[in-house]
């Protein structure tokens, strides 16, 4: 069992909200939409995650999805990658970064310049932590 599957099972046991895995077509369509909007493609590590669960919500952390997940009876819609970037990712900082999710005062990003996943402080937009794999970042958020 891969580390990513172990972490997802761990989150499932902690009542995380998980979704059905996205299809390759959905991921491709999202990547194309992101590139057309001037952002970068979805990195491979995050595609592996989307294949298992198209987004995630747990303890104030949200990982963005390919397709929108509307939640009846609430004002809350789970944001998609494209929706988030078009609305909020403005400026040079986001040109080479893809925001994959958000947590309590941090963003989870992929930096295409260094090919690393990173936690970025929200108030200063400075990288707090850089790790090579998406599952490493997820492990750090859950367990450290």
Quote the tokens at residue 31.
């990547």
Give least dist CB 96 to another protein, A: 11
92 binds another protein (CB under 8 A): yes
Query: Min. distance of Cβ 39 from another protein in angstroms?
Result: 15
Q: Say whether residue 37 binds another protein (CB under 8 A).
A: no
Please provide the DSSP assignment of 74-141 as one string. Answer: SS-EEPBHHHHHHHH--SGGGTSEEEEEEETTEEEEEETTTTEEEEEETTT--EEEEESSHHHHHHHH
Residue 123 is a binding residue for another protein (CB under 8 A): yes
**Which span sits near another protein by CB under 8 A: 1-9, 35-43, 47-55, 104-112?**
104-112
Q: Which residue lies nearer to another protein by CB, 51 or 112? A: 112
Q: What does DSSP assign to residue 42? A: P
């Amino acid at each position: 069992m891969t580390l990513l599957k172990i972490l997802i099972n761990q989150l499932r046991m902690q009542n995380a909200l998980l979704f059905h895995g996205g299809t390759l077509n959905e991921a491709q369509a999202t990547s194309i939409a992101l590139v057309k909007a001037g952002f970068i493609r979805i990195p491979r590590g995050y595609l592996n995650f989307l294949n298992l669960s198209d987004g995630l919500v747990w303890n104030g952390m949200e990982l963005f999805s390919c397709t929108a997940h509307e939640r009846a009876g609430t004002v809350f819609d789970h944001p998609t990658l494209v929706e988030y970037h078009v609305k909020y990712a403005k400026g040079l900082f986001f040109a080479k970064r893809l925001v994959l999710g958000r947590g309590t005062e941090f963003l989870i990003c992929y930096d295409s310049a260094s090919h690393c996943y990173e936690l970025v402080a929200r108030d200063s937009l400075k990288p707090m932590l850089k790790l090579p794999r998406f599952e490493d970042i997820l492990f750090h958020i859950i367990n450290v």
